[in-house]
């Protein structure tokens, strides 16, 4: 009886941990770019959204930046070959991330 209770608690906690975990997206920046007020070096990044904040972590250095974003919910973006579509413009010789469309959702992050 005690073993089954412990097993049940374990599975319940595992389910709750998974349900509370936000989806993480990975992307590669081939060159340095600004995201809001933050400058991201070229490299591999993980992105997680928490409300109106984008949490961007460099995979290699583990450096994390928290950037305010405007979350726009429009029509659902279709599944594409990558997890996201990043709109980057160049202003005064500097690359600037303008928006990120998250795959298979209706979410667009605007910096």
> Hey, what are 47's tokens?
């992105």
Residue 107's DSSP bridge partners are 73
**pLDDT tens string 80-110:** 534 578 888 998 889 999 999 887 778 889 9
Per DSSP, helices labelled H in the chain are: 2-20
**pLDDT tens string 17-43:** 444 457 889 999 999 999 999 999 999
pTM, to two decimals: 0.72
- The C-alpha atoms of residue 47 and residue 22 are separated, in whole angstroms, by 10
């Amino acid at each position: 009886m005690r073993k089954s209770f412990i097993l049940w608690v374990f599975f319940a906690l595992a389910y709750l941990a998974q349900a509370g975990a936000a989806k993480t997206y990975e992307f590669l920046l081939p060159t340095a770019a600004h995201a809001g007020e933050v400058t991201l070096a070229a490299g591999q990044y993980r992105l997680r959204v928490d409300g109106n904040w984008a949490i961007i972590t460099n995979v290699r250095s583990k450096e994390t930046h928290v950037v305010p974003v405007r979350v726009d919910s429009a029509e659902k973006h279709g599944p594409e070959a990558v997890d996201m579509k990043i709109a980057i413009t160049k202003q005064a010789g500097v690359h600037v991330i303008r928006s990120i469309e998250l795959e298979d959702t209706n979410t667009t992050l605007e910096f």
